[in-house]
Amino acid sequence: MSLLPKPHLAAEDYLALERSADFKSEFFDGETFAITGANESHNLIVANTLAEIRQQFKKKPCKIYANDMRVKVGPSG
């Protein structure tokens, strides 16, 4: 049995697909991976954690984001 090659997407193609997708996904090395949405407990933990972090960075030139930010990470992280 032969294995079919996995499609290799360019980052631009992934972004175009993601804008119209009905589900969230992550992109890594030309592949997409479906990810689940968060539940109530997760959202409460995130909100409480962000409130505490924001207090620590209040007078510093930092930005705090909760989620839904697309970021491009280099090979070294």
Amino acid identity, residue 25?
S
Structure-token pair, residue 60: 């510093």
Q: What share of the chain is helix, strand, coil (3-state, %, to 5)?
A: 35, 10, 55
Mean pLDDT for the chain overall: 85
Q: pLDDT above 90 covers what percent of the chain? A: 21
52 or 72, higher pLDDT: 52
pLDDT at res. 45: 92
Q: What is the predicted pLDDT for the residue at 38?
A: 79
Reported as a single tens digit per residue, the pLDDT across 37-61 is 778 998 899 899 999 999 998 889 8
Sketch the domain layout of the chain as residue ranges: 1-37, 38-68
Q: How many residues does the chain have?
A: 77
How would you label 21-36 residue by residue, b for 16+ Cβ within 10 Å and e otherwise? eeeeeebeeeebeeee
